[in-house]
Amino acid sequence: TRARMKDTYERVDADLQALFPRLFGGGRAWLAMTGEDLLDAGVTIMAQPPGKKIGSLSLMSGGEKALTAVALVFAIFRLNPAPFCMLDEVDAPLDEANVGRFGRLLREMSERVQFIFITHNKATMEVAEHLAGVTMHEPGVSRLVDVDVAEAVRLAAV
């Protein structure tokens, strides 16, 4: 229905506006409608990383795109917190400063959402409360080992 879509759009837009500057350390982002009618118009993201002009998303860098996408996914989670969220190496394109901000937001969001995340990044591993290590000591066969962070860093280097 029109009212439901309007509510969804406005709440995700508001949360995107709040989360983007926290992930980027500044700047702003918001949603825009491509048409008049709420029921069939398309939705686009407008983003302005700190110090830059508002430009087309396609000119953004690999890391900027990934971080903007995380802001949007987290904004949707604030609207409708699914029981869990699984993230597969979303921090791979990020530099250390952005990985830090991403980790802090992850920790905060985890009060309402369960996060299960795959990462090769030591800074993100340190955000985890529990770590599950997957190994193939027997080649081709996956098994699980419990690891602590120090061990985890070693395991990633095996």
Partner 1 sequence: MRLSRIRLAGFKSFVDPVTVHLRSNLVGILGPNGCGKSNVIDAVRWVMGESAASRLRGEAMSDVIFSGSATRKPVGQASVELVFDNAEGRLGGAWASYAEISVRRLVNRDGTSQYFLNGTRCRRRDVTELFLGTGLGPRSYAIVEQGMISRVIDARPEELRAFLEEAA
Q: How far apart are CA 144 and CA 139, in angstroms?
A: 14
Check binding of 100 to partner 1 (CB under 8 A). no
Applying CB under 8 A, which of residues 28, 43, 105, 123 lies at the interface with partner 1? 43
In the complex with ligand ATP, which residue's Cβ is closer, 64 or 91?
64
Query: Which residues in 43-62 contact Mg ion (CB under 5 A)?
Result: 61-62
The DSSP call for residue 48 is E
CA dist., res. 35 & res. 53, Å (int): 24
Each residue of 36-50: b (16+ CB within 10 Å) or e? eeeeeeeeebebbbe
From 12-20, 31-39, 44-52, 124-132, span contacting a second copy (CB under 8 A): 44-52
Could you say which of ligand ATP, a second copy, Mg ion, none residue 157 binds, taking C-beta under 5 to 8 angstroms by partner kind? a second copy
